[in-house]
Chain A
Protein backbone atom coordinates (compact mmCIF):
# COMPACT_ATOMS: atom_id res chain seq x y z
CA UNK A 1 0.00 0.00 0.00
CA UNK A 2 3.00 2.25 0.49
CA UNK A 3 5.87 1.91 -1.91
CA UNK A 4 8.98 4.06 -1.76
CA UNK A 5 11.37 3.96 -4.66
CA UNK A 6 14.92 5.24 -4.62
CA UNK A 7 14.26 8.16 -2.29
CA UNK A 8 17.03 10.74 -1.93
CA UNK A 9 16.93 13.65 0.50
CA UNK A 10 19.45 16.38 1.16
CA UNK A 11 19.09 17.89 4.57
CA UNK A 12 21.11 20.95 5.56
CA UNK A 13 23.92 20.11 3.15
CA UNK A 14 23.99 16.45 4.14
CA UNK A 15 22.96 13.67 1.81
CA UNK A 16 20.69 12.19 4.46
CA UNK A 17 18.84 9.58 2.41
CA UNK A 18 20.77 7.85 -0.33
CA UNK A 19 18.28 5.84 -2.29
CA UNK A 20 15.77 4.32 0.10
CA UNK A 21 13.32 1.74 -1.26
CA UNK A 22 10.80 0.00 0.92
CA UNK A 23 7.24 -1.19 0.84
CA UNK A 24 4.43 -1.66 3.31
CA UNK A 25 1.81 -4.26 2.53
CA UNK A 26 -1.82 -4.35 3.60
CA UNK A 27 -2.57 -5.59 7.08
CA UNK A 28 1.04 -5.72 8.19
CA UNK A 29 3.27 -4.12 10.80
CA UNK A 30 6.52 -3.10 9.21
CA UNK A 31 9.42 -1.74 11.19
CA UNK A 32 12.37 0.35 10.27
CA UNK A 33 15.21 0.08 12.75
CA UNK A 34 18.62 1.63 12.97
CA UNK A 35 20.89 3.79 15.06
CA UNK A 36 20.47 7.45 15.83
CA UNK A 37 21.04 9.59 12.75
CA UNK A 38 20.59 6.78 10.28
CA UNK A 39 17.84 8.75 8.55
CA UNK A 40 14.75 6.98 9.87
CA UNK A 41 12.89 10.11 10.90
CA UNK A 42 13.94 11.89 7.74
CA UNK A 43 12.40 9.07 5.71
CA UNK A 44 9.06 9.56 7.43
CA UNK A 45 9.22 13.34 7.15
CA UNK A 46 9.99 13.05 3.46
CA UNK A 47 7.00 10.75 2.95
CA UNK A 48 4.76 13.30 4.72
CA UNK A 49 6.07 16.16 2.60
CA UNK A 50 7.66 17.91 5.59
CA UNK A 51 11.14 17.88 4.08
CA UNK A 52 11.74 18.31 0.36
CA UNK A 53 12.76 15.24 -1.61
CA UNK A 54 15.71 15.49 -3.97
CA UNK A 55 14.55 12.58 -6.09
CA UNK A 56 12.62 9.35 -5.88
CA UNK A 57 8.96 8.62 -5.59
CA UNK A 58 6.37 7.66 -3.01
CA UNK A 59 3.35 5.61 -4.07
CA UNK A 60 0.45 5.31 -1.69
CA UNK A 61 -2.60 3.21 -2.53
CA UNK A 62 -1.31 3.03 -6.09
CA UNK A 63 -1.05 6.79 -6.52
CA UNK A 64 2.10 8.85 -6.74
CA UNK A 65 1.98 11.23 -3.77
CA UNK A 66 5.57 12.51 -4.02
CA UNK A 67 4.45 16.03 -4.89
CA UNK A 68 1.39 16.25 -2.63
CA UNK A 69 1.26 18.65 0.28
CA UNK A 70 1.03 17.39 3.85
CA UNK A 71 -2.66 18.22 4.22
CA UNK A 72 -3.68 16.05 1.26
CA UNK A 73 -1.47 13.22 2.43
CA UNK A 74 -3.09 13.33 5.89
CA UNK A 75 -6.52 13.50 4.31
CA UNK A 76 -5.71 10.36 2.37
CA UNK A 77 -5.18 8.46 5.62
CA UNK A 78 -1.40 8.45 5.81
CA UNK A 79 -0.63 9.73 9.29
CA UNK A 80 2.55 10.25 11.26
CA UNK A 81 2.85 10.17 15.05
CA UNK A 82 5.95 12.32 15.41
CA UNK A 83 9.01 11.55 17.48
CA UNK A 84 8.93 12.94 20.99
CA UNK A 85 5.11 12.90 21.08
CA UNK A 86 4.73 16.56 20.25
CA UNK A 87 1.32 17.03 21.84
CA UNK A 88 0.14 20.64 22.00
CA UNK A 89 0.91 21.40 25.65
CA UNK A 90 -1.45 24.37 26.14
CA UNK A 91 -4.42 22.66 24.57
CA UNK A 92 -6.57 20.27 26.57
CA UNK A 93 -6.44 16.54 25.97
CA UNK A 94 -9.83 16.77 24.29
CA UNK A 95 -8.67 19.59 22.01
CA UNK A 96 -5.58 17.63 21.02
CA UNK A 97 -7.83 14.73 20.09
CA UNK A 98 -10.14 17.04 18.14
CA UNK A 99 -7.16 18.39 16.19
CA UNK A 100 -6.35 14.86 15.07
CA UNK A 101 -9.62 14.92 13.15
CA UNK A 102 -8.93 18.37 11.70
CA UNK A 103 -9.31 17.38 8.05
CA UNK A 104 -12.50 15.41 8.62
CA UNK A 105 -16.03 16.77 8.35
CA UNK A 106 -18.11 13.69 9.27
CA UNK A 107 -19.18 14.81 12.76
CA UNK A 108 -21.03 11.62 13.75
CA UNK A 109 -18.08 9.43 12.78
CA UNK A 110 -15.65 11.71 14.58
CA UNK A 111 -17.74 11.37 17.75
CA UNK A 112 -17.65 7.58 17.34
CA UNK A 113 -13.88 7.54 16.87
CA UNK A 114 -13.45 9.78 19.89
CA UNK A 115 -15.37 7.22 21.95
CA UNK A 116 -13.20 4.47 20.51
CA UNK A 117 -9.88 6.13 21.41
CA UNK A 118 -11.19 6.81 24.90
CA UNK A 119 -11.97 3.10 25.21
CA UNK A 120 -8.48 2.33 24.01
CA UNK A 121 -6.94 4.83 26.44
CA UNK A 122 -9.25 5.23 29.45
CA UNK A 123 -6.62 7.36 31.18
CA UNK A 124 -7.11 10.04 28.58
CA UNK A 125 -10.83 10.21 29.16
CA UNK A 126 -10.24 10.79 32.87
CA UNK A 127 -7.99 13.69 31.96
CA UNK A 128 -9.75 15.13 28.97
CA UNK A 129 -10.05 18.64 30.50
CA UNK A 130 -6.42 18.78 31.50
CA UNK A 131 -3.81 20.66 29.50
CA UNK A 132 -1.81 18.09 27.56
CA UNK A 133 1.43 19.52 28.94
CA UNK A 134 0.50 18.33 32.43
CA UNK A 135 0.32 14.65 31.42
CA UNK A 136 3.11 12.19 32.16
CA UNK A 137 5.37 11.06 29.32
CA UNK A 138 3.50 7.78 28.86
CA UNK A 139 0.15 9.52 28.84
CA UNK A 140 1.43 12.04 26.33
CA UNK A 141 2.51 9.20 24.07
CA UNK A 142 -0.94 7.68 24.37
CA UNK A 143 -2.43 11.05 23.52
CA UNK A 144 -0.17 11.32 20.48
CA UNK A 145 -1.32 7.91 19.29
CA UNK A 146 -4.98 8.69 20.05
CA UNK A 147 -4.66 11.97 18.15
CA UNK A 148 -3.25 10.15 15.13
CA UNK A 149 -6.03 7.58 15.24
CA UNK A 150 -8.59 10.39 15.07
CA UNK A 151 -7.43 11.05 11.52
CA UNK A 152 -8.67 7.55 10.54
CA UNK A 153 -5.28 6.34 9.36
CA UNK A 154 -5.08 3.63 6.75
CA UNK A 155 -1.36 3.61 7.37
CA UNK A 156 -0.06 4.86 10.70
CA UNK A 157 3.61 5.72 10.84
CA UNK A 158 5.04 5.93 14.34
CA UNK A 159 8.35 7.55 15.04
CA UNK A 160 9.98 6.13 18.18
CA UNK A 161 6.84 5.58 20.25
CA UNK A 162 8.88 4.05 23.08
CA UNK A 163 11.34 6.92 23.38
CA UNK A 164 12.01 7.91 26.98
CA UNK A 165 9.29 5.75 28.47
CA UNK A 166 9.48 3.30 31.38
CA UNK A 167 9.71 -0.39 30.32
CA UNK A 168 6.24 -1.21 31.59
CA UNK A 169 4.71 1.60 29.57
CA UNK A 170 6.72 0.59 26.51
CA UNK A 171 5.18 -2.87 26.75
CA UNK A 172 1.77 -1.30 26.98
CA UNK A 173 2.39 0.89 23.93
CA UNK A 174 3.56 -2.07 21.86
CA UNK A 175 0.53 -4.14 22.76
CA UNK A 176 -1.66 -1.20 21.73
CA UNK A 177 0.16 -1.03 18.40
CA UNK A 178 -0.71 -4.67 17.86
CA UNK A 179 -4.30 -3.97 18.78
CA UNK A 180 -4.51 -1.06 16.37
CA UNK A 181 -3.11 -3.25 13.63
CA UNK A 182 -5.74 -5.89 14.36
CA UNK A 183 -8.37 -3.18 14.01
CA UNK A 184 -7.29 -2.88 10.38
CA UNK A 185 -4.69 -0.12 10.50
CA UNK A 186 -1.39 -0.78 8.76
CA UNK A 187 1.61 0.28 10.77
CA UNK A 188 5.06 1.48 9.83
CA UNK A 189 7.11 1.58 12.99
CA UNK A 190 10.40 3.31 13.56
CA UNK A 191 12.34 2.19 16.58
CA UNK A 192 15.67 2.19 18.29
CA UNK A 193 14.26 -0.46 20.57
CA UNK A 194 14.92 -3.04 17.86
CA UNK A 195 13.98 -6.14 19.80
CA UNK A 196 10.53 -4.94 20.86
CA UNK A 197 9.82 -3.62 17.39
CA UNK A 198 10.91 -6.76 15.51
CA UNK A 199 8.96 -8.99 17.87
CA UNK A 200 5.67 -7.50 16.76
CA UNK A 201 6.65 -6.88 13.12
CA UNK A 202 5.81 -8.91 10.06
CA UNK A 203 8.72 -7.44 8.16
CA UNK A 204 11.65 -5.22 9.02
CA UNK A 205 14.21 -2.98 7.39
CA UNK A 206 17.53 -2.01 8.89
CA UNK A 207 18.84 1.40 8.04
CA UNK A 208 22.40 2.69 8.29
CA UNK A 209 23.55 6.19 7.36
CA UNK A 210 20.96 6.84 4.70
CA UNK A 211 20.71 3.40 3.10
CA UNK A 212 18.82 0.21 3.85
CA UNK A 213 21.33 -2.55 4.53
CA UNK A 214 19.28 -5.56 5.58
CA UNK A 215 15.65 -6.51 5.29
CA UNK A 216 13.65 -9.58 6.12
CA UNK A 217 10.77 -10.91 8.19
CA UNK A 218 10.69 -9.93 11.83
CA UNK A 219 11.57 -13.45 12.92
CA UNK A 220 14.51 -13.73 10.53
CA UNK A 221 15.95 -10.42 11.62
CA UNK A 222 15.68 -11.35 15.29
CA UNK A 223 17.97 -14.33 14.71
CA UNK A 224 20.27 -12.59 12.22
CA UNK A 225 23.81 -12.55 13.65
CA UNK A 226 24.75 -9.13 12.40
CA UNK A 227 21.62 -7.59 13.85
CA UNK A 228 22.00 -9.42 17.13
CA UNK A 229 25.46 -7.92 17.50
CA UNK A 230 24.72 -4.41 16.33
CA UNK A 231 21.20 -3.74 17.61
CA UNK A 232 20.17 -6.36 20.11
CA UNK A 233 23.31 -6.19 22.20
CA UNK A 234 23.92 -9.89 22.29
Chain B
Protein backbone atom coordinates (compact mmCIF):
# COMPACT_ATOMS: atom_id res chain seq x y z
CA UNK B 1 0.00 0.00 0.00
CA UNK B 2 1.42 3.39 -0.95
CA UNK B 3 1.42 6.28 1.49
CA UNK B 4 -1.14 8.09 -0.62
CA UNK B 5 -3.47 5.12 -0.59
CA UNK B 6 -2.91 4.69 3.14
CA UNK B 7 -3.81 8.32 3.85
CA UNK B 8 -6.80 8.03 1.56
CA UNK B 9 -8.09 5.02 3.49
CA UNK B 10 -7.39 6.69 6.81
CA UNK B 11 -9.47 9.67 5.80
CA UNK B 12 -12.29 7.49 4.52
CA UNK B 13 -12.21 5.40 7.70
CA UNK B 14 -12.20 8.40 10.01
CA UNK B 15 -15.03 9.89 8.03
CA UNK B 16 -17.37 6.91 8.18
CA UNK B 17 -16.26 6.44 11.78
CA UNK B 18 -17.37 9.98 12.54
CA UNK B 19 -20.83 9.22 11.22
CA UNK B 20 -21.00 6.04 13.30
CA UNK B 21 -19.93 8.10 16.30
CA UNK B 22 -22.73 10.62 15.79
CA UNK B 23 -25.32 7.85 15.75
CA UNK B 24 -23.68 5.91 18.57
CA UNK B 25 -24.00 8.96 20.83
CA UNK B 26 -27.78 8.69 20.42
CA UNK B 27 -27.76 5.06 21.57
CA UNK B 28 -25.51 5.70 24.50
CA UNK B 29 -27.33 8.81 25.78
CA UNK B 30 -30.76 7.21 25.70
CA UNK B 31 -29.32 4.20 27.48
CA UNK B 32 -27.68 6.42 30.07
CA UNK B 33 -30.97 8.05 31.00
CA UNK B 34 -33.61 5.38 30.39
CA UNK B 35 -31.52 2.16 30.51
CA UNK B 36 -33.18 1.48 27.16
CA UNK B 37 -31.45 0.33 23.99
CA UNK B 38 -33.38 2.31 21.44
CA UNK B 39 -33.43 -0.22 18.62
CA UNK B 40 -35.42 2.23 16.51
CA UNK B 41 -32.51 4.68 16.41
CA UNK B 42 -31.08 3.28 13.15
CA UNK B 43 -34.50 3.54 11.54
CA UNK B 44 -34.91 7.13 12.69
CA UNK B 45 -31.63 7.73 10.86
CA UNK B 46 -33.14 6.08 7.75
CA UNK B 47 -36.32 8.18 8.02
CA UNK B 48 -34.15 11.31 8.13
CA UNK B 49 -32.83 10.34 4.69
CA UNK B 50 -36.37 10.10 3.31
CA UNK B 51 -37.20 13.47 4.84
CA UNK B 52 -34.29 14.89 2.83
CA UNK B 53 -35.55 13.32 -0.39
CA UNK B 54 -39.00 14.68 0.38
CA UNK B 55 -37.78 18.21 0.94
CA UNK B 56 -35.21 18.48 -1.85
CA UNK B 57 -36.65 16.27 -4.59
CA UNK B 58 -40.40 16.48 -4.09
CA UNK B 59 -40.62 20.06 -2.90
CA UNK B 60 -37.45 21.38 -4.57
CA UNK B 61 -36.42 23.27 -1.44
CA UNK B 62 -32.78 24.45 -1.46
CA UNK B 63 -30.42 22.18 0.51
CA UNK B 64 -29.68 24.49 3.42
CA UNK B 65 -33.37 24.97 4.21
CA UNK B 66 -34.00 21.27 3.59
CA UNK B 67 -31.27 20.41 6.06
CA UNK B 68 -33.03 22.33 8.83
CA UNK B 69 -36.37 20.77 7.86
CA UNK B 70 -34.76 17.33 8.10
CA UNK B 71 -33.30 18.08 11.52
CA UNK B 72 -36.60 19.41 12.87
CA UNK B 73 -38.72 16.59 11.50
CA UNK B 74 -36.30 13.93 12.73
CA UNK B 75 -36.42 15.45 16.22
CA UNK B 76 -40.23 15.52 16.10
CA UNK B 77 -40.28 11.89 14.98
CA UNK B 78 -38.03 10.93 17.89
CA UNK B 79 -40.16 12.81 20.42
CA UNK B 80 -43.32 11.26 19.00
CA UNK B 81 -41.86 7.76 19.35
CA UNK B 82 -40.82 8.52 22.91
CA UNK B 83 -44.26 9.80 23.87
CA UNK B 84 -46.23 7.02 22.19
CA UNK B 85 -44.05 3.94 22.58
CA UNK B 86 -41.73 4.48 25.54
CA UNK B 87 -43.29 6.97 27.93
CA UNK B 88 -46.40 4.88 28.73
CA UNK B 89 -44.07 2.01 29.72
CA UNK B 90 -42.00 4.05 32.16
CA UNK B 91 -42.94 1.98 35.18
CA UNK B 92 -43.09 -1.38 33.39
CA UNK B 93 -40.26 -3.91 33.54
CA UNK B 94 -37.31 -2.91 31.38
CA UNK B 95 -37.88 -5.79 29.00
CA UNK B 96 -41.25 -4.37 27.92
CA UNK B 97 -39.82 -1.06 26.80
CA UNK B 98 -37.01 -2.89 24.97
CA UNK B 99 -39.54 -5.00 23.08
CA UNK B 100 -41.49 -1.85 22.32
CA UNK B 101 -38.31 -0.39 20.80
CA UNK B 102 -37.90 -3.43 18.55
CA UNK B 103 -41.54 -3.02 17.54
CA UNK B 104 -40.99 0.63 16.65
CA UNK B 105 -37.98 -0.37 14.57
CA UNK B 106 -40.06 -2.81 12.49
CA UNK B 107 -42.89 -0.32 12.31
CA UNK B 108 -40.65 2.37 10.83
CA UNK B 109 -39.11 -0.04 8.31
CA UNK B 110 -42.50 -1.21 7.13
CA UNK B 111 -43.96 2.26 7.19
CA UNK B 112 -41.14 3.41 4.93
CA UNK B 113 -41.73 0.47 2.60
CA UNK B 114 -45.42 1.28 2.47
CA UNK B 115 -44.97 5.01 1.94
CA UNK B 116 -41.91 5.11 -0.29
CA UNK B 117 -41.84 1.52 -1.74
CA UNK B 118 -38.97 -0.88 -1.26
CA UNK B 119 -37.20 0.35 -4.38
CA UNK B 120 -34.08 2.37 -3.67
CA UNK B 121 -34.59 6.09 -4.10
CA UNK B 122 -31.86 8.40 -5.21
CA UNK B 123 -30.50 10.64 -2.47
CA UNK B 124 -30.34 14.28 -3.59
CA UNK B 125 -26.91 15.71 -4.22
CA UNK B 126 -25.85 18.57 -2.01
CA UNK B 127 -23.48 20.46 -4.34
CA UNK B 128 -21.23 22.00 -1.67
CA UNK B 129 -20.59 18.66 -0.02
CA UNK B 130 -19.78 16.84 -3.26
CA UNK B 131 -16.92 19.09 -4.36
CA UNK B 132 -13.53 17.48 -4.50
CA UNK B 133 -10.68 18.62 -2.29
CA UNK B 134 -7.08 17.81 -3.11
CA UNK B 135 -4.22 17.76 -0.61
CA UNK B 136 -1.09 16.91 -2.58
CA UNK B 137 -1.71 13.39 -3.84
CA UNK B 138 -4.72 12.73 -1.65
CA UNK B 139 -8.04 13.77 -3.03
CA UNK B 140 -11.36 13.54 -1.29
CA UNK B 141 -14.83 15.04 -1.29
CA UNK B 142 -15.77 17.85 1.05
CA UNK B 143 -18.20 15.62 2.94
CA UNK B 144 -15.52 13.03 3.77
CA UNK B 145 -13.27 15.78 5.00
CA UNK B 146 -15.74 17.71 7.15
CA UNK B 147 -17.47 14.71 8.78
CA UNK B 148 -14.81 14.09 11.45
CA UNK B 149 -14.58 17.83 12.10
CA UNK B 150 -18.35 18.02 12.63
CA UNK B 151 -18.23 14.96 14.88
CA UNK B 152 -15.51 16.34 17.11
CA UNK B 153 -17.24 19.73 17.20
CA UNK B 154 -20.54 18.11 18.19
CA UNK B 155 -18.77 16.09 20.86
CA UNK B 156 -17.14 19.17 22.39
CA UNK B 157 -20.43 21.10 22.45
CA UNK B 158 -22.27 18.12 23.88
CA UNK B 159 -19.74 17.58 26.66
CA UNK B 160 -19.94 21.29 27.51
CA UNK B 161 -23.73 21.06 27.74
CA UNK B 162 -23.52 18.04 30.02
CA UNK B 163 -20.75 19.39 32.24
CA UNK B 164 -21.67 23.06 32.46
CA UNK B 165 -25.39 23.64 32.04
CA UNK B 166 -28.22 23.13 34.47
CA UNK B 167 -30.04 20.69 32.20
CA UNK B 168 -26.75 18.80 31.75
CA UNK B 169 -26.40 18.49 35.49
CA UNK B 170 -29.99 17.28 35.68
CA UNK B 171 -29.22 14.67 33.00
CA UNK B 172 -26.29 13.36 35.02
CA UNK B 173 -28.45 13.23 38.13
CA UNK B 174 -31.32 11.44 36.40
CA UNK B 175 -28.97 8.89 34.84
CA UNK B 176 -27.80 7.93 38.35
CA UNK B 177 -30.95 8.04 40.44
CA UNK B 178 -34.43 8.68 39.04
CA UNK B 179 -36.23 9.02 42.34
CA UNK B 180 -33.79 11.33 44.07
CA UNK B 181 -33.61 13.45 40.93
CA UNK B 182 -37.37 13.85 41.22
CA UNK B 183 -36.96 14.95 44.83
CA UNK B 184 -34.74 17.78 43.58
CA UNK B 185 -37.71 19.00 41.56
CA UNK B 186 -36.24 17.79 38.27
CA UNK B 187 -38.92 17.01 35.71
CA UNK B 188 -37.86 13.60 34.44
CA UNK B 189 -39.89 13.86 31.25
CA UNK B 190 -38.15 17.09 30.28
CA UNK B 191 -34.75 15.48 30.73
CA UNK B 192 -35.82 12.48 28.64
CA UNK B 193 -37.17 14.74 25.90
CA UNK B 194 -33.92 16.71 25.78
CA UNK B 195 -32.01 13.44 25.48
CA UNK B 196 -34.12 12.38 22.52
CA UNK B 197 -33.79 15.81 20.92
CA UNK B 198 -29.98 15.62 21.09
CA UNK B 199 -29.91 12.00 19.88
CA UNK B 200 -32.20 12.68 16.93
CA UNK B 201 -30.39 15.90 16.02
CA UNK B 202 -27.15 13.94 15.75
CA UNK B 203 -28.87 11.13 13.83
CA UNK B 204 -30.23 13.65 11.31
CA UNK B 205 -26.78 15.19 10.95
CA UNK B 206 -25.25 11.74 10.54
CA UNK B 207 -27.87 10.79 7.99
CA UNK B 208 -27.05 13.74 5.74
CA UNK B 209 -23.34 13.04 5.94
CA UNK B 210 -23.80 9.29 5.42
CA UNK B 211 -26.13 9.33 2.44
CA UNK B 212 -24.59 12.23 0.52
CA UNK B 213 -21.72 10.16 -0.94
CA UNK B 214 -24.00 7.12 -1.38
CA UNK B 215 -26.31 6.58 -4.31
CA UNK B 216 -29.60 5.61 -2.75
CA UNK B 217 -31.87 5.13 0.24
CA UNK B 218 -34.13 2.13 0.91
CA UNK B 219 -36.30 1.21 3.90
CA UNK B 220 -33.71 -1.11 5.46
CA UNK B 221 -30.84 1.32 4.91
CA UNK B 222 -30.75 2.25 8.60
CA UNK B 223 -30.68 -1.21 10.04
CA UNK B 224 -27.05 -2.26 9.44
CA UNK B 225 -25.49 1.13 10.25
CA UNK B 226 -27.77 1.24 13.30
CA UNK B 227 -26.50 -2.11 14.55
CA UNK B 228 -22.89 -1.11 13.92
CA UNK B 229 -23.35 2.07 15.92
CA UNK B 230 -24.94 0.07 18.69
CA UNK B 231 -21.81 -2.09 18.73
CA UNK B 232 -19.71 1.09 18.80
CA UNK B 233 -21.65 2.24 21.87
CA UNK B 234 -21.23 -1.13 23.59
CA UNK B 235 -17.53 -1.19 22.76
CA UNK B 236 -17.01 2.25 24.25
CA UNK B 237 -19.00 1.30 27.33
CA UNK B 238 -22.70 1.96 26.93
CA UNK B 239 -23.68 5.16 28.73
CA UNK B 240 -20.33 6.82 28.01
CA UNK B 241 -20.36 9.48 25.30
CA UNK B 242 -16.58 9.66 24.67
CA UNK B 243 -16.61 5.85 24.59
CA UNK B 244 -19.27 5.80 21.88
CA UNK B 245 -17.28 8.29 19.79
CA UNK B 246 -14.10 6.26 20.14
CA UNK B 247 -16.01 3.08 19.27
CA UNK B 248 -17.47 4.74 16.18
CA UNK B 249 -14.08 5.85 14.90
CA UNK B 250 -12.53 2.47 15.60
CA UNK B 251 -15.22 0.53 13.75
CA UNK B 252 -15.09 2.96 10.83
CA UNK B 253 -11.32 2.66 10.50
CA UNK B 254 -11.17 -1.12 10.87
CA UNK B 255 -13.97 -1.60 8.39
CA UNK B 256 -12.29 0.60 5.80
CA UNK B 257 -8.94 -1.17 6.12
CA UNK B 258 -10.54 -4.59 5.95
CA UNK B 259 -12.22 -3.51 2.72
CA UNK B 260 -8.95 -2.07 1.45
CA UNK B 261 -7.21 -5.36 2.10
CA UNK B 262 -9.69 -7.01 -0.25
CA UNK B 263 -11.99 -8.65 2.28
CA UNK B 264 -15.04 -6.50 1.65
CA UNK B 265 -17.43 -9.29 2.49
CA UNK B 266 -15.89 -9.58 5.95
CA UNK B 267 -16.07 -5.92 6.89
CA UNK B 268 -19.50 -6.24 8.50
CA UNK B 269 -18.62 -9.57 10.07
CA UNK B 270 -15.78 -7.83 11.89
CA UNK B 271 -18.19 -5.51 13.71
CA UNK B 272 -20.15 -8.36 15.15
CA UNK B 273 -17.09 -10.41 16.06
CA UNK B 274 -16.01 -7.30 17.94
CA UNK B 275 -19.37 -7.25 19.72
CA UNK B 276 -19.04 -10.87 20.80
CA UNK B 277 -15.44 -10.32 21.92
CA UNK B 278 -16.37 -7.24 23.97
CA UNK B 279 -19.27 -9.02 25.62
CA UNK B 280 -17.05 -11.99 26.45
CA UNK B 281 -13.97 -10.23 27.73
CA UNK B 282 -15.02 -6.76 28.82
CA UNK B 283 -18.81 -6.51 28.98
CA UNK B 284 -18.72 -3.00 30.44
CA UNK B 285 -16.78 -1.72 27.42
CA UNK B 286 -13.82 0.63 27.38
CA UNK B 287 -15.15 3.38 29.66
CA UNK B 288 -18.15 1.60 31.09
CA UNK B 289 -18.64 1.64 34.81
CA UNK B 290 -18.45 -1.58 36.70
CA UNK B 291 -21.58 -1.67 38.78
CA UNK B 292 -20.70 -2.90 42.21
CA UNK B 293 -23.59 -4.90 43.55
CA UNK B 294 -24.40 -3.75 47.09
CA UNK B 295 -24.91 -6.55 49.53
Contact = CB atoms under 8 A, between A and B. Distances in A.
Interface string A87-121: 01111000100111011000000000000000000
A102 B184 CA distance: 6
Given A71-B186, A151-B185, A102 B180 contact: no
A103 B185 contact: yes
A86 interface: yes
Interface residues of A, number: 22
Interface in A52-106: 70-71, 74-75, 79-80, 82, 86, 88-91, 95, 98-100, 102-103
Given A70-B183, A71-B186, A80-B183, A99 B176 contact: no
Given A86-B180, A88-B177, A75 B172 contact: no
Contacts of B183: 48, 50, 70, 74, 79-80, 82, 86
A7 B186 CA distance: 25
A50 B179 CA distance: 8
Contact of A99 (B179, B184, B187): B184
Interface in A146-192: 147, 151
B182 A99 contact: no
B90 to A, nearest CB: 13
B-side binding surface: helix, strand, loop or mixed?
helix
B172 A102 contact: no
B254 interface: no
Interface residues on B, range: 10 to 19
A102 B182 contact: no
B173 A88 contact: yes
Interface in B172-227: 172-173, 176-177, 179-180, 182-187
B131 interface: no
A71 B185 contact: yes
Nearest to B182: A70
A102 B185 contact: yes
Contacts, number: 55
Contacts of A70: 182-183, 185
Nearest to B163: A95
Given A50-B179, A82-B180, A91 B173 contact: yes
Nearest to A74: B185
B186 A91 contact: no
A98 B170 CA distance: 10
B172 A90 contact: yes
Contact of A91 (B166, B169, B182): B169
Nearest to A150: B184
Contacts of B186: 71, 99, 102
A80 B184 CA distance: 9
Contacts of B176: 88-91
A211 to B, nearest CB: 25
A50 B182 contact: yes
Nearest to A84: B180
Given A71-B187, A102-B185, A88 B170 contact: no
Interface string B21-65: 000000000000000000000000000000000000000000000
Nearest to B190: A71
A233 B139 CA distance: 84
Contacts of A147: 184
Contacts of A79: 183
A95 B173 CA distance: 10
Contacts of A95: 169
A65 to B, nearest CB: 14
A98 B180 contact: no
Interface of B: 166, 169-170, 172-173, 176-177, 179-180, 182-187
9 contacts: A50-B179, A50-B182, A86-B177, A88-B173, A95-B169, A99-B170, A99-B184, A102-B170, A103-B184
Interface of A: 48, 50, 70-71, 74-75, 79-80, 82, 86, 88-91, 95, 98-100, 102-103, 147, 151
The 8 closest A-B pairs by CB, nearest first: A103-B185, A74-B185, A86-B180, A70-B182, A102-B184, A71-B185, A99-B184, A102-B185
